[in-house]
A and B are shown apart, each in its own frame.
Chain A
Amino acid sequence: EIVMTQSPATLSVSPGERATLSCRASQSVSSTLAWYQKKPGQAPRLLIYGASTRATGIPARFSGSGSGTEFTLTISSLQSEDFAVYYCQQYNNWPYSFGQGTKLEIK
């Protein structure tokens, strides 16, 4: 089973600033890594797939990078609607697995 570890657990950033979220896999998942945004009472939203490809309709301020075991989600200039919990997920091997999440909060 592949364990996904996200850091930090909570990130406090001011609107307009850059946020960098990390995700580490316990073994290589190649580029089969997705990022999701989750807000309370809403369904998760796919942001990034294939480690670096933005999903349909996702703003260009969201970018993903990495491969193998180390991945990063960057939000270049935070908007008010970006404050949420972010999850990484590997879909390289079953069982699929999510990280524990990073809560992005307003500073």
Chain B
Amino acid sequence: EVQLVESGGGLVKPGGSLRLSCAASGFTFSHYSLNWVRQAPGKGLEWVSSISSTSSYIYYADSVKGRFTISRDNAKNSLYLQMNSLRAEDTAVYYCAREISNWGLDYWGQGTLVAVSS
């Protein structure tokens, strides 16, 4: 069974940093691209970042470019999102999601809440 489990969320002050993790199981992790998607309270889904299977290709939304860094460790079946210079508008539930080429995002974790507030 495919499972994605996010962790690392919490309350952080504006300007602070946080590192999210996503532990994967039930599939060959190194074969898939992965994404982070977030949903702010009362808002819609917002794509944040993508990383290819070998980390060769990395993309970011303009809203996080220069502040967030996506990475993965295929030996540990883990995806990460390093978030720096956090702002109130980064408050959201952050989901990791597996991507299949030409399929979209087929499996999602349950999410981890990041709250940025003083």
Binding site for B on A (CB under 8 A): 1, 32, 34, 36, 38, 42-46, 49-50, 55-56, 85, 87, 89, 91, 94-101
Contacts and interface: CB of A to CB of B under 8 A. Distances in A.
Contact of A95 (B39, B59, B100, B107): B59
A94 B44 contact: no
B52 to A, nearest CB: 11
A91 B106 CA distance: 12
Interface string B37-63: 101000011110010000000011110
A95 B105 contact: no
- Identify the 6 closest CB pairs spanning chains A and B, nearest first: A34-B104, A43-B108, A94-B59, A96-B47, A49-B103, A101-B44
Question: Chain A at the B interface: mostly helix, strand, loop or mixed?
Answer: loop
- What class of interface size applies to chain B in its complex with A? 20 to 34
Contacts of A98: 37, 44-47
Interface core residue of A32, A43, A101 (most chain B CB under 10 Å): A43
27 contacts: A36-B104, A43-B110, A44-B45, A44-B95, A44-B97, A44-B105, A46-B103, A46-B104, A46-B105, A46-B107, A49-B100, A49-B104, A49-B106, A50-B103, A55-B103, A55-B106, A89-B45, A89-B47, A89-B105, A91-B99, A91-B105, A94-B50, A96-B35, A96-B47, A96-B59, A98-B37, A101-B44
Contacts of B47: 89, 95-98
Given A32-B102, A96-B50, A101 B45 contact: yes
Contact of B45 (A32, A55, A87): A87
Contact of A100 (B44, B97, B103, B107): B44
Contacts of A38: 39, 45
A98 B97 CA distance: 14
